[in-house]
Structure 1
Amino acid sequence: MSLTLPNAVTESATATDSPFLEVTWHDTESSATGYLVIDRLVRGLCSGGLRMRAGCSASEVRGLARGMTLKEAIHFEPGAHYVPLGGAKGGIDFDPYDPAAGGVLERYLAAMAPLIEQRWTMGEDFGVRQDAVDRAIERIGLTSSVQAAHRAVPDMAAADARMAKAFSTDVDGISLDELVGGFGVAEAALAALRHRGMNPAESTAFIQGFGSMGGAAARYLARAGVRVVGIADVHGVVSNEGGLDVERLLLTRDRSGAIDRTQLRDADRIEPGDRWLQISADLLVPAATSYCIHAGNHAEVQATVIAEAANMPITPEAEQALDLRQVTVSPDFVANSATNAWWWWVLFGDIDGSAEQSFEKISTRIGALSDEMFARATEDRTSTRTAAFAIAIERLADINTRFDAFALTR
């Protein structure tokens, strides 16, 4: 199976490397252009969120869809209720803060409705909130943004009960569904620190982005003893060499992940946003935009370990340079895969939707995947991304032999 890594996907591809389906949408009431890429189907289904940002491109969505294929495949466990889906992604080139964004979102979803109904299970991503998706889905006459997957669930009443439990569970002031992804990132980061022989209690971290992924990652890194010395949000950077009060900042941030500066302590510093790579830390967690570490700034990276909470935050050229500097990277399709996997574990019945089972399953799976990746990288003398990619491709090949691409049963 010949596939390209997500952050290296380009406009040209071989027949075996090409996506299953690409759709381009042009809004008739604004300048927005939207894309949907279905990279692969498994049992007629695919999974991947929808993002909105000015400058979003077809190539970006193509790479993100490939990343979803890998995130799904790498969690394949023969005998589990959850059978991984194919990978997909939606993207809209439009400013999500524009007053017209809600209408753009609804018109895009209306255009994609037949695919959402039958093939594409989707939800929030960068620049798009799930509650906005849910409102639009109802207005266009669909029942759920993941209704296509319901055809593969044998007992929807039991599944609905598990999902209701999962989405009504609060963990220390934050809903469980907003924590699982960042908890997985924290587990991946801690595994990477252990791999490098670093003690979390003696390590520091910088978090770029303080939304659900970055915020939860910061919480659980801090609870593991890591000193979070800096956080970047949409307004800039806050830092403290002695460690920020993560919990206080987390519980007082706004819905967009912006830190309330009135909650800072006297020793906390406010700095410009362009200084985010200049804050010294052992661990860097990019949890905001794609391609934020690139040829022009990779030399500023001071961390020994990077855990990718965002999708495709490092360009291939930058990662090659970081690899030569022996910076350990936990790639996105391992580190930030827990949100997607958790949803399906709950829906299909591998866990009951409780916080206890959710955190236990994520910790076990991300820990095992990380250890397997590091062992493979050491054995093959290759990068962690290449090692994880090889593991995912092997599991994808196994899925392809066991399940039909189009039918729910083989």
Structure 2
Amino acid sequence: MDKPYLVVEWQDTETDAKGWLCVYNFVNHYAGGGTRMHPTVTREEVIRLAHTMAYKYTACASTTTGGCKGGIAYDYKAPDAKQVLRRYLIAMAPYIKAGVSIGGDLGVDYLDVLQILDELGIGLPQTKAMKADPRVQQGIINHERMVNMRYDGFLMYDMVTGYGVAYCADEAWKCKGGQPGARVVIQGFGCVGASAAKCLAQMGYRIVGIADANCLVVCPEGLDVEQLIATRRPKGEMDPGSFAANYQVLPNTRWLDVDCDILIPAALEDVIHRDNAHQVKASLIVEAANIPVTAEADQILRQRGIDVVVDFVANLGAIRFYDAVIFGLVEPTPQAAVADIENLCRQNTRRLFTEAARQGRYQRDVARELFTPTIKDTPDI
């Protein structure tokens, strides 16, 4: 399954925005994945992300959904970003109606996607079989109710991925025999980075550095994560006015300079590359972002003996939440959904590290074998 099933390109008629939809594989005539918006998005990136989604659904033990991804090359901070998203979704409507379920990702709020699809009369994307299944229809009602619920102060879709990342990091650190109170640096302070920081801090980890789009803030004694979240600006930007006097503020390009045990890239792709992989100080990388490490950097990390929890294991929280609620795999409560995600993330991480240790191999190589997607179905026609 080296080639994606479908790649579609879209050109906006009112701006210079360009977008793509890639379906890597269908399972039961259905595929799922997020849509990201950022000026740097490319066709190749969307294809790589769709490939990752296929692996991610396999890691979720999903028997219902294949992997897809949407991407829009445009500034998500632009005043007309939501209108661009709307036109993109209109263009992709025939594919959405054929079983392609695209949600939110970097720069795109999933609630905005759901609102637009409701306005277009599409609603939550589903196949004919799903529409005829009472359990799924009840799951959709439960999902609509749960997306507006909160857990630990976060909306559900704003925390499920980050908490899953934190559980993977904790389990991997335990597999490594790491000591309590390990130091963590997080690159990116959007929903995933912020919620991962909070969950890790609650488990006793010391968050010593956080980088956002504007700066890097460092404190060896540990940052006050609750305060940084409480004062966070839109689009995942910290408020410098809330920084404590003992915080050091540096350019955000220096996030790899901070001494730490665990490094969590939680924003853009390819941020660890051949020119900076030698600077990684952590002994463990947990990939909260999709494809944050280039192939060249991966070889360097492998040679240096740095352990990795790969993206399709670490950041599957949102798609597991969707699958589990829509298809009735868990009780429709925030507590049950989070417990389900924690169990899956810990189980997959433990399996990955145990098998890698047994074989004496790099975690990414083992993960690609453990979670290889094998089903390649067709659209819902």
- Other-structure match for 2:107: 127
- Deviation of the 1:189 alpha carbon: 0.6
Distance 1:151 1:381 in 2: 47
Structure 2's unaligned 5+ residue stretches are none
Residues 294 and 315, structure 1, Cα contact 8 Å, conserved in 2: yes
Native 8 Å contact 1:52 1:128 kept in 2: yes
SS of the residue aligned with 1:102? helix
Aligned CA-pair RMSD: 1.8
Partner of 1:385: 364
| Match of residue 98 from structure 2 | 118
Residue 405, structure 1, aligned to residue 377, structure 2? yes
Q: Secondary structure at the match of 1:50?
A: strand
Counterpart AA for 1:155:
R
The sequence identity of aligned pairs, in percent, is 34
Q: Which residue of 1 aligns with 2:160?
A: 180
Is the contact between residue 98 and residue 379 of structure 2 (CA under 8 Å) also seen in structure 1? no
Which residue of the partner structure matches residue 198 of structure 1?
A: 178
Structure 1: gaps (5+ residues): 1-15, 77-81
SS in 1 for 2:228: helix
**CA distance, structure 2, for counterparts of residue 341 and residue 135 of structure 1:** 21
Distance 1:277 1:181, change over 3 A: same
Q: State whether structure 2 residue 341 is matched by structure 1 residue 362.
A: yes
The answer to whether the Cα contact below 8 Å between 2:28 and 2:64 also exists between their aligned partners in 1 is no
Instruction: Return the TM-score normalized by structure 1.
Output: 0.88
Structure 2 SS opposite 1:51: strand
Q: Is it true that 1:58 corresponds to 2:43 in the alignment?
A: yes
Select which of 24, 28, 35 maps to 2:20: 35
- Supply the distance in 1 between the matched residues of 2:379 and 2:38 (Cα, whole angstroms): 34
Distance 1:318 1:153, change over 3 A: farther
What does 1:275-354 align with in structure 2 at a 5 Å threshold?
275-354=254-333
Structure 1 residue 152 displacement after superposition: 7.1
Query: Matched residues in 1 for 2:132 and 2:343: separation?
Result: 25
Cα separation, partners in 2 of 1:172 and 1:363, compared to 1, 3 Å: closer
Aligned residues: 379
State how far apart, in whole Å, the 2-side matches of 1:142 and 1:134 are.
Answer: 9
In structure 1, the partner of 2:63 is 83
Greater mean alpha carbon deviation, residues 170-179 or residues 302-311: 170-179
Q: Using a 3 Å threshold, how does the CA distance of structure 1 residues 407 and 288 change in structure 2: closer, same or farther?
A: closer
Aligned to 1:227: 206
Please give the alpha-carbon distance, in whole angstroms, between the structure 1 residues aligned to 2:110 and 2:140: 17
CA–CA distance in 1 between the matches of 2:332 and 2:257? 40
Question: TM-score of the superposition, structure 2-length normalised?
Answer: 0.94
C-alpha separation between the residues in 2 aligned to 1:186 and 1:221?
A: 6
CA 1:48/1:98 → structure 2, altered by over 3 Å: closer, same or farther? Answer: same
- What amino acid sits opposite 2:240 in the alignment? R
Of the candidates 99, 109, 121, which is equivalent to residue 89 of structure 2?
Answer: 109
Counterparts in 2 of 1:360 and 1:286: CA distance versus 1, 3 Å = same
Dislocated runs of 4+, deviation >6 Å: none
SS at match of 1:329: strand
